[in-house]
Amino acid sequence: MTKIYKLMFLSILIMSTLISISAYTWLGMWIGLEMNLLSIIPIIQNKNILSSESAIKYFIVQALASTIIMMSIIMMMWKFNFNSNIYMNSNLLMIMNLSLLLKMGMAPVHFWFPEVLEGLNWNNCLLMLTWQKITPMVLLMYNTEFNLFFSMIIISGVIISSIMSMNQMSMRKIMAFSSINHMSWMLTSMILEKTIWILYFIIYSIITINISLMMKNIFYLNQLFPILNIYPLMKMFFMLNFMSLSGIPPFLGFLPKWMVIQTMIENNMFTLTIIMIMFTLVMIYIYMRITMTTLIMKTNQMNWNLKLSLKINKMPISMINFISMMSLCLVTIMMNMI
């Protein structure tokens, strides 16, 4: 049963995000970030010692990033007074953007993100993978232009996530590195075309919600196979969602990547497009390895600690997955009508 105080902190978390993305001043933005940090800590912490460790790690990293943001804002106000566009090319703005990337767990400052997710349950992982990305990305949207700095960030995101995902047995770490890979695509779409970023983020959130609902008490690959063999419908949904997450046509996840690639080619960014596609193919191999192994492997052996995983409410999962699979057909029809 959900505790009342967690609902209260969840409402403060939603309100803090809205404060940050709608603030007129940098001070209001910073206040929203601090409210967000102070409200997320009680939500992710429970009686499990691993969640307490993750909460401490998250607090230290976020407090450090907030300090750097505040320091860079004060120095930019002192140096440029925010009355000209000179600060857009300054090193102080690059420091502030790097601290926002640290807040969202983007490579190369991603060191805390997989470790924090490893100690959380799937509900809190879902919160970290989706809602907590909104504020830093919107704030990055306000003061970014495509330069060498962001090109290196995007390239490092796709390279690090694809390499670090190999030989991972933890589903939470696989989802963390998958999030880093998708954030590279989202950063690209955010800088080039804001509408594509909104569509990409909504589709990514839908797929992540589907996978998180199906995971329940499954945290490692060796727990995945016996559970899914008992629920053939869940096995099919799991495979379809992972293939959609990888961006394989004709699934829903292919649509935003297709739009990002088209926008990048229209802006003559051929080298970056080739690098991102090549390393995303490595991620597709990792996704396909999981789905094919799930399809092929079959075992009837069940551990006692997996009995809890059998209590899965299939109705909401089936409905959300049906909406997700039908969305690509609906979007294609709408695009043809337009």
- The last residue of one of the domains, among 59, 80, 103, is 103
- The last residue of one of the domains, among 67, 88, 103, is 103
Residues 99 and 156 in one domain: no
State the residue range of the domain holding 68: 1-103
- The last residue of one of the domains, among 68, 83, 103, is 103
Cβ atoms of residues 298 and 224 within 8 Å? no
Total number of domains in the chain: 2
Residues 62 and 151 in one domain: no
Euclidean distance between CA atoms 58 and 70, whole angstroms: 18
Tokens of 312: 């899965």
Residues 161 and 180 in one domain: yes
Residues 84 and 166 in one domain: no
Cβ atoms of residues 301 and 196 within 8 Å? no
Residues 18 and 166 in one domain: no
Count of other CB atoms within 10 angstroms of residue 202: 12
Residues 215 and 314 in one domain: yes
- Inter-axis angle of helices 314-337 and 194-215, to 10 degrees? 160
Residues 285 and 226 in one domain: yes
Note down pLDDT in tens along the chain; length 338 residues.
Answer: 457 777 888 888 889 999 988 888 888 888 888 888 888 888 888 777 778 888 888 999 999 998 988 888 888 777 766 555 555 557 778 888 888 899 888 888 888 888 888 888 888 888 888 888 888 888 888 877 777 888 888 999 999 988 888 888 888 888 899 899 999 999 998 888 888 888 899 888 888 888 888 777 778 877 777 777 676 777 777 788 888 888 887 778 888 888 899 988 988 888 888 999 998 888 888 888 887 776 666 555 444 444 444 455 555 555 566 666 656 665 666 555 54
Residues 83 and 120 in one domain: no
If DSSP codes are grouped into helix, strand and coil, which group holds residue 266? helix
Residues 164 and 265 in one domain: yes
Q: What share of the chain is helix, strand, coil (3-state, %, to 5)?
A: 80, 0, 20
Residues 97 and 131 in one domain: no
Euclidean distance between CA atoms 43 and 37, whole angstroms: 10
CB burial of 294-320 (b: ≥16 within 10 Å; e: otherwise) equals: beeeeeeeeeeebeebeebeeeebeeb
